[in-house]
Structure formats: structure tokens, C-alpha cells
Amino acid sequence: MKMARKIVIIGGGDAGTYTLEAIFKKGAEVLKQFDITLVKKDKGGSASICAVPFALQGVFPMKDVAEIDPPEMFVGHGIDYRAETEATGINVEQSTVSLSTGDELKYDYLVIGTGRKPRIPAIEGADLNGVFTMSTVEDGEKIAAAMNAQDAKNAVVLGCGTIGLQVALAFMKKGLKTTLIAGHPTPLSSSLDPDMGTIVRERLEKEGATFVTGKSVDALKGDGGTVKSVVVEGEGIPADIVVISKGMLPNADLAKDAGIKIGATGGIVTDQFLHVKKGGAYIDNVYAVGDCVEVLDAITLRPRLSQFASSALVQAKVIVNNILGVSYPLEPALSPAIAAIANLQVGSVGITAATAERCGIRVVSGKKDKPTKARFYPGRKSMAVKLLFDAYSERLIGAQIISEEMVADRIDGLCNAIRMGMTAKELSRMEKSFDPCVSLHRDVMIDATEKAVEQLTKGKA
């Protein structure tokens, strides 16, 4: 009988869990071929971190998302599932992983899924009580306890990315006076152009948020070790809770200490099969997955991070297929994203105008705001669509959509259109289905595309 091959997975976040699930999906016969150990620093089974901001908003109890699958589920599949166990070292030459327990694991295949760590700017007072980040379920539980405290009145969020906005909404729902502080005047600046970001900002202001933008934070000030205010250019903003939400860094120290190559983004460098690199060569039995990984951007062809659960899911499939000897390369990332923010669905894919400019790509855009359904249909919503085309090739390279409905499928469709290299003209000729109860005969996306086609035609005249 053939010896089972050993797979060691470091990390039990989405990336590690999806890797396990991708193996489970291959069936019992495949599972039998492997001895799989998963080690993770945090406690319990798998969680849904993506759901934590909504638990804070009261959509469902935190306990429902803090553990989606208990360790017993994985053990039931024959996995040696070790929570509260840290990998302290990787020896690529010996194919071993050392653990905090003193054990050493030998592997045939290693999957590094050590995830992310919050970016914490060097601000005085960032270590005060009442100052939080939002990266783990534990963070969510701490924020919940702080915002539910009797004396909590004022909250400040540093940063206007998706997580910051979703946490700010939880504070507002709880009745806290909430201030968002960010460098850019409009939120979600890494995925939305300012004209689209304005829609989100106005919605949040309607919900009661105050924005302070374009100013620098001097310090967080406390009393008796607990935060009391955030000082912005000399002016104190009262704060019983502060959440620092300035983005996530890859947690790649373990890989780095093992001599594995780290890229300019701070993520682990990988090839198209997610093999890591050491000493100038890719290692064919060591993979990295999830938020700790650097990938190639499909539009700019530059390295980038793609810190989404949806990216980790695709990467896990690539790794498992590769281990099974199936050629299944990772496509360069387009990273379609969708975020629910104050009843708005905010979708984006590809690049923004600012990124295009930074990379020397000239863009022509088309934008339109229209109802989602026929004008006589009750309860229709408005939808804003902005499409960005490469002025040279006329291909779609970015899309941003905001509406109260029907955004996710459209963004995913446009992600495919980008992947297929569709041009503005091709997109403008797309056939669309119509029923007044669910769509509009002259669709907003076609209108936005036609605007871009006009611009492109004018540019050539």
C-alpha cells in the first residue's frame, strides 16, 4: 500500500480552511491519499471574519459567525487539527515545521496561510485602552463589548476602507456619535473614483457620520490609560472608542525568517501555481495562500495584494489541483469586490482612474445613473455605473457600481468582460434581457458604455 503523503497547513483562517475544503471536495478517495495537519495560532474552529462587521451591526449574533465549523468537523474528516498552536519555524531544506509545542512536523507539501496583520500607523496613544483594530473575531468581540458599555458615547474610526465604514455603521446603529478620519476626501479610495466615493460618503453622512478628511492625526489622548480623544491638527475629537482601520499588511514573517522571498508589497512572492520562492528558485512543494500572498495584477501586470476571501478561495483550488498533479494556474488578479454599506451595495473590479494614472494608463470613462427597473415599477432603485476603458486598446479595465440592489452579479459579469478583453464597442452591443419587474430595457451599463464609445470616437476624429 502507498504511504499517505503529508500536507501541513499553517493557518486556519479562510485560506487554510478553503485549502482543506478544496481537498474534501475531491472526495474520500483523494482525502485518503494524504495525512493532513493544520496548525493555527487562534482558538476554536473556522470563523467567518467577513461577517463580523455585520454581527457588530446586530444583523446576527456574534456567536453565529465566531465559529462556523468546530474543530470536530475537521477531525471527522481525518484532519489533525491543532488550534492554539503556533508554527515557530520552517526549514525548507529539511521539509519540516517547528511548533510552539516543541513538536516538529515533517511534510511532503507545505501550505503557508498566515494571513494578515493590521497596519497601525505610528501615532502617539495607539496603545491606549479603548483603541482597537478589526482583523479577528476576537477584535470584533472586544469592539462589541466597548460599544455596548453604558458610558460609550463617541466613536472615531481612523480610515475609510470597507471595514472602517462597516464598523462605523455599527457604532451609528448603536447611537454613538461617529467620526471617520481619513486622508482622502471620499471613502473607499482604493476601489472607487472620487465621483463614485461621494455617493457613499453622502449616504453615510445621511446616517449621521461626520467625516474629517485631508488632515493629519497628531495623537490619541487618554485619561488613566483609556482613550478620551483623537487630536487632529490641534483639535480634540471626543472618543470613547477608536478603531484603527488603515488597511492590512501581509503576515509573512514566518516565511521571511525561513528565507522565503518577500515582494515589494510585503507579501510572499509566488508563481502562477502559488509556489514560494527561495534562493532564486520556486520550491515545488511549498505554497502560500490568502492574505499573506503577493499576486500579479491583471491590468497593470504589477505585483499587488488581493486580500479577499474570494481570492483565497480561488488560490486554494489552484494549490490543491497542483498537489494532485492537475495543471491549474492562477490567473492574474482582477479582485472583484462587493461591500454592503448602509443599504448600498458597492461593487468594483479592475483599476480606478487614480491607479491608471499612477501606472501611465490613459483611460476613457463612461458614467450613468439610472433606475434598475421600469419607471412605473414600484420600489425600483437607482444605480450608478462607471466604466473605465483603456484609451489605446479600448478594452474595459475597470468598473464601479453602486445601488441598493443587483450589484454583485453585474460586477462579476464585468469581471468576466475584462478577463475576456471586451472593448467598449463590444460591450455596447451586448444583448440584455428585459422584464420591467426586474430590469430596464435601456440598461444603465449599456448607456455608460455608449458614453465611453462617444468619447473614444471623438478622440479619434
Ligand X SMILES: Cc1cc2nc3c(=O)[nH]c(=O)nc-3n(C[C@H](O)[C@H](O)[C@H](O)COP(=O)(O)OP(=O)(O)OC[C@H]3O[C@@H](n4cnc5c(N)ncnc54)[C@H](O)[C@@H]3O)c2cc1C
Q: Which is nearer to ligand X, 39 or 440 (CB)?
A: 39
Cβ atoms of residues 358 and 312 within 8 Å: no
Which residues contribute to the site for ligand X (CB under 6 A)? 10-16, 39-42, 49-50, 52-53, 86-87, 113-116, 134-135, 163, 251, 254, 290-291, 307-310, 312
Please confirm, yes or no, whether 359 is among the known catalytic residues. no
* 44-to-19, 52, 65, 72, 247 alpha-carbon distances in Å: 17, 16, 12, 10, 25
Q: Min. distance of Cβ 26 from ligand X in angstroms?
A: 20
Q: Min. distance of Cβ 446 from ligand X in angstroms?
A: 28
Amino acid at residue number 186: T
304-331 burial code (b ≥16 CB/10 A, e <16):
bbbbbbebbbbbbbbbbbbbeeeeeebe
Q: Min. distance of Cβ 117 from ligand X in angstroms?
A: 8
Q: Which is nearer to ligand X, 49 or 131 (CB)?
A: 49
Q: Min. distance of Cβ 335 from ligand X in angstroms?
A: 9
What is the CA 59 to chain-centroid distance, rounded? Answer: 20
Q: Min. distance of Cβ 354 from ligand X in angstroms?
A: 22
* 182-to-97, 157, 162, 211, 212 alpha-carbon distances in Å: 41, 9, 13, 8, 7
Q: Which is nearer to ligand X, 41 or 261 (CB)?
A: 41
Distance, CA of 359 to CA of 374 (rounded, Å): 40
Q: Min. distance of Cβ 12 from ligand X in angstroms?
A: 4
* 321-to-95, 266, 298, 318 alpha-carbon distances in Å: 21, 26, 22, 5
Q: Which is nearer to ligand X, 339 or 363 (CB)?
A: 339
Residues in the chain: 461
Q: Min. distance of Cβ 33 from ligand X in angstroms?
A: 24
Long-range contacts, stretch 425-429, CB < 8 angstroms, 24+ apart: 425/394, 425/453, 427/387, 427/396, 428/453
- Block residue for cell numbers 522565503: 260
Q: Which is nearer to ligand X, 55 or 424 (CB)?
A: 55
Q: Which is nearer to ligand X, 215 or 256 (CB)?
A: 256
Q: Which is nearer to ligand X, 25 or 256 (CB)?
A: 256
Q: Which is nearer to ligand X, 60 or 392 (CB)?
A: 60
Q: Min. distance of Cβ 450 from ligand X in angstroms?
A: 31
Pick from 399, 247, 387: which is nearest to 336 by CA?
Answer: 399
Residues carrying an active site annotation: 50
